[in-house]
């Protein structure tokens, strides 16, 4: 096998997780290369809610103050069941909760990386293992090969690296989500709160980001599988409007006036929490992080923050265990054997946290938008009450110092 290039650490995927991992490593003086299949960095999904645990991770990456200035805080969530006439108020967190533009987050992460770290337009097709060294070798879509000592898969839900690790296949929720931004040139006048309205088996959420911009999403039943789903923004908006026609004028107008460039439609999927408990997330010098490992539904708003936490913990484990100063004083030297131990430490440290978040997300999702039988509903409520009694515990998590 001929290799065209050899790189110590390769990260596949330039989304939140891949960029955050590269940045966390960079902050520790460790270089890496991020391979991103798109020609430019993507910020699909309009915006992202970040709760205190996510802000703690952003603080470790040195990005919290930059991003804080881009969005107003919110604390309260207001849940309205239109059909049942029920209104309930809940608190999202005891600390900082803000909804930031994904493009601001991606840009902030990318801007802090040394130039040349991100290689756009590089799609990884498969992973192989070199017989002699047992190091991973990546096959790229342009026919080239890259050999590496550590491979980190941050390539999202349909991860090639997760397949290499033989993680269990993803499961589909029976729902789709549309996300978008709406700009109100004269100000929206909404309270700084997370509003969630349920009607006719559909859910609409809205969070103000500043005085003029709101992030909204819908979780809708009855849409087709991936192949049949509309991809162009005008069709996505038309589909969303048709399914939310019975909502208030304020909501319908918000969708009608949305910024077309911000719209995206996604079929909701997850990796089963029980498989995360047992699955092997490290094979040789290869591991996964972010959605590639633990894609979960959006019902807790924690997938992105969990990806940031992964990045901090992974970089900490690698820098502590796998690197030592070069004897000639010129930077750090990677030990391949120690790197594998470092990846094991990362998986061990993250596993329970990931299982906790994924399980809570799954149960919340089942109650929020699923249609469980009475017995299943009762069981979900009992588990939530017994195992996840403190509803804000997951937001108090601290991934620790980089
Ligand atoms: C409707 C919805 C709402 C959500 N709301 C929130 C929220 O409020 N708060 C929150 O924290 N999380 C939220 N999430 C979850 C969050 O969006 C994800 O957890 C997060 O984006 C994961 O980031 P990632 O970098 O792991 O994966 P991705 O964002 O999927 O990035 C993967 C990257 O890898 C690239 N890639 C893929 N395959 C290859 C390949 N073979 N070669 C090279 N590159 C490749 C892709 O192009 C992409 O850029 C939500 C999710 C959904 C669906």
For residue 256, is it within any domain?
yes
Q: What is the pLDDT of residues 220-248, one digit of tens each?
A: 875 556 667 888 999 999 999 999 999 99
Can you read off the two tokens belonging to residue 20?
A: 């955050």
330: Cβ–Cβ under 8 A, 6 or more apart, which residues?
Answer: none
Dist. CA 144–CA 138, nearest whole Å: 8
Q: What confidence score (pLDDT) does residue 339 get?
A: 96
What spacing in Å lies between the alpha carbon of 38 and ligand 1's midpoint? 13
36 lines ligand 1 (CB under 6 A): yes
12 lines ligand 1 (CB under 6 A): yes
Nearest C-alpha neighbor of 205 from the set 369, 26, 382: 369
Can you read off the two tokens belonging to residue 48?
A: 């992202």
* Cβ 33 vs Cβ 119: under 8 Å: yes
Could you tell me if 217 and 312 lie in one domain?
A: no
For residue 85, is it within any domain?
no
Q: What confidence score (pLDDT) does residue 400 get?
A: 97
What spacing in Å lies between the alpha carbon of 201 and ligand 1's midpoint? 26
* Cβ 323 vs Cβ 333: under 8 Å: yes
Task: State the pLDDT confidence band at 84, using cuts at 50, 70 and 90.
Answer: confident
* Cβ 310 vs Cβ 24: under 8 Å: no
* Ligand 1 atom at minimum distance from 302 CA: 11
Task: Write the burial class of residue 280 (CB in 10 Å: 0-12 exposed, 13-18 middle, 19+ buried).
Answer: exposed
Could you tell me if 256 and 305 lie in one domain?
A: no
Could you tell me if 313 and 224 lie in one domain?
A: no
* Cβ 309 vs Cβ 53: under 8 Å: yes
Q: What confidence score (pLDDT) does residue 224 get?
A: 58
In Å, what is the CA distance from 263 to each residue of 47, 141, 399? Answer: 11, 28, 32
Q: What confidence score (pLDDT) does residue 75 get?
A: 79
Could you tell me if 385 and 263 lie in one domain?
A: no
194 lines ligand 1 (CB under 6 A): no
How do 118-120 and 33-36 pair as beta strands?
parallel
Q: What confidence score (pLDDT) does residue 182 get?
A: 98
Nearest C-alpha neighbor of 197 from the set 301, 47, 49, 82: 82
Total number of residues shown for the chain:
402
- Among 268, 295, 310, which residue terminates a domain? 268
Residues of the domain holding 155: 5-72+101-170+271-396
> Can you give the CATH number for the domain in which 121 is found?
3.50.50.60
Could you tell me if 220 and 361 lie in one domain?
A: no
Nearest C-alpha neighbor of 292 from the set 10, 7, 85, 18: 18
In Å, what is the CA distance from 100 to each residue of 97, 181, 182, 297? Answer: 10, 11, 14, 19
Q: What confidence score (pLDDT) does residue 279 get?
A: 83
Could you tell me if 15 and 108 lie in one domain?
A: yes
Can you read off the two tokens belonging to residue 162?
A: 């997760």
Could you tell me if 223 and 298 lie in one domain?
A: no
More confident residue, 130 or 329: 130
More confident residue, 278 or 11: 11
Of 84-93, 101-110, 139-148, least confident by mean pLDDT is 84-93
What spacing in Å lies between the alpha carbon of 16 and ligand 1's midpoint? 7
Instruction: Give the H/E segment covering residue 80.
Output: strand 76-81
Ligand 1: residue of 48, 109, 229 to mutate (most ligand atoms within 8 A of CB) is: 48
Can you read off the two tokens belonging to residue 180?
A: 């978008």
Q: What is the pLDDT of residues 124-164, one digit of tens each?
A: 999 999 998 899 999 999 999 999 999 999 999 999 999 99
* Ligand 1 atom at minimum distance from 154 CA: 26
Task: State the pLDDT confidence band at 89, using cuts at 50, 70 and 90.
Answer: confident
- Among 268, 296, 325, which residue terminates a domain? 268
- Among 245, 268, 291, which residue terminates a domain? 268
For residue 93, is it within any domain?
no
Nearest C-alpha neighbor of 352 from the set 311, 399, 316, 320: 399
> Can you give the CATH number for the domain in which 262 is found?
3.30.9.30
What spacing in Å lies between the alpha carbon of 327 and ligand 1's midpoint? 40
> Residue 262, by phi and psi: left (phi above 0), alpha (psi -120 to 50) or beta?
alpha
Of 10-14, 365-369, 394-398, least confident by mean pLDDT is 365-369
Name the domain count of the chain: 2
267 lines ligand 1 (CB under 6 A): no
Q: What confidence score (pLDDT) does residue 386 get?
A: 87
Task: State the pLDDT confidence band at 3, using cuts at 50, 70 and 90.
Answer: low
Task: State the pLDDT confidence band at 249, using cuts at 50, 70 and 90.
Answer: very high
Q: What confidence score (pLDDT) does residue 174 get?
A: 86
Could you tell me if 361 and 386 lie in one domain?
A: yes
Q: Taking the CA of residue 149 as centre, how many other CA atoms within 13 Å lie in the half-sphere pointing to its CB?
A: 18
Could you tell me if 188 and 68 lie in one domain?
A: no
Q: Whose CA is nearest to atom 3 of ligand 1?
A: 298
Nearest C-alpha neighbor of 109 from the set 28, 47, 29, 17: 17
37 lines ligand 1 (CB under 6 A): yes
* Ligand 1 atom at minimum distance from 20 CA: 25
217 lines ligand 1 (CB under 6 A): yes
Q: What confidence score (pLDDT) does residue 222 get?
A: 59
What spacing in Å lies between the alpha carbon of 311 and ligand 1's midpoint? 14
Task: Write the burial class of residue 187 (CB in 10 Å: 0-12 exposed, 13-18 middle, 19+ buried).
Answer: exposed
| pLDDT above 50 (res 1) | no
Could you tell me if 197 and 336 lie in one domain?
A: no
Dist. CA 134–CA 81, nearest whole Å: 56
For residue 144, is it within any domain?
yes
For residue 96, is it within any domain?
no
For residue 79, is it within any domain?
no
Nearest C-alpha neighbor of 299 from the set 183, 187, 173: 173
160 lines ligand 1 (CB under 6 A): yes
Could you tell me if 180 and 165 lie in one domain?
A: no
Nearest C-alpha neighbor of 150 from the set 133, 163, 166, 167: 133
Could you tell me if 286 and 161 lie in one domain?
A: yes
161 lines ligand 1 (CB under 6 A): no
For residue 130, is it within any domain?
yes
Residues 48-65, mean pLDDT to the nearest whole number: 97
38 lines ligand 1 (CB under 6 A): yes
For residue 83, is it within any domain?
no
What spacing in Å lies between the alpha carbon of 288 and ligand 1's midpoint? 13
């Amino acid at each position: 096998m001929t290799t065209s290039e050899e790189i110590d650490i390769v990260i596949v995927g330039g989304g939140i997780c891949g960029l955050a991992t590269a940045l966390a490593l960079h902050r520790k003086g460790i270089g890496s290369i991020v391979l991103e299949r798109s020609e430019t960095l993507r910020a699909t999904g309009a915006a992202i809610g970040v709760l205190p645990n996510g802000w703690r991770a952003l603080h470790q990456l040195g990005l919290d103050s930059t991003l804080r200035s881009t969005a107003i805080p919110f604390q309260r969530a207001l849940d309205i069941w239109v059909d049942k006439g029920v209104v309930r108020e809940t608190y999202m967190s005891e600390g900082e909760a803000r909804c930031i533009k994904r493009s601001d987050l991606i840009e902030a992460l990318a801007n802090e990386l040394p130039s040349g770290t991100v290689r756009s337009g590089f799609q990884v097709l498969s992973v192989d293992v070199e017989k002699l060294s047992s190091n991973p070798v990546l096959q790229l879509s342009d026919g080239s090969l890259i050999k590496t000592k550590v491979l980190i898969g941050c390539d999202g839900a349909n991860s090639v690296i997760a397949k290499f690790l033989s993680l269990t296949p993803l499961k589909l929720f029976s729902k789709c989500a549309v996300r978008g931004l709406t700009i109100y040139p004269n100000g929206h006048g909404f309270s700084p709160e997370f509003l969630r309205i349920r009607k006719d088996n559909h859910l609409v959420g809205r969070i103000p980001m500043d005085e003029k911009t709101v992030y909204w999403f819908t979780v809708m039943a009855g849409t087709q599988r991936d192949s049949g789903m509309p991809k162009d923004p005008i069709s996505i908006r038309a589909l969303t409007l048709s399914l939310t026609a019975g909502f208030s004028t304020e909501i319908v107008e918000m969708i009608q006036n949305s910024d077309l460039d911000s719209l995206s439609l996604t079929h909701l999927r997850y990796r089963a929490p029980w498989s995360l408990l047992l699955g092997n997330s490290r094979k040789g010098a290869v591991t996964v992080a972010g959605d590639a490992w633990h894609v979960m539904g959006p019902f807790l708003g924690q997938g992105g923050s969990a990806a940031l936490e992964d990045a901090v913990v992974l970089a900490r484990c690698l820098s502590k265990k796998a690197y030592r100063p070069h004897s000639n004083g010129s930077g750090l030297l990677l030990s391949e054997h120690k790197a594998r131990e470092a990846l094991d430490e990362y998986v061990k440290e993250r596993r329970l946290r990931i299982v906790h978040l994924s399980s809570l997300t799954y149960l919340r999702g089942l109650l929020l938008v699923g249609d469980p039988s009475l017995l299943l509903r009762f069981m979900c409520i009992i588990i939530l009450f017994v195992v996840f009694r403190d509803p804000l515990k997951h937001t108090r998590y601290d991934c620790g110092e980089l």
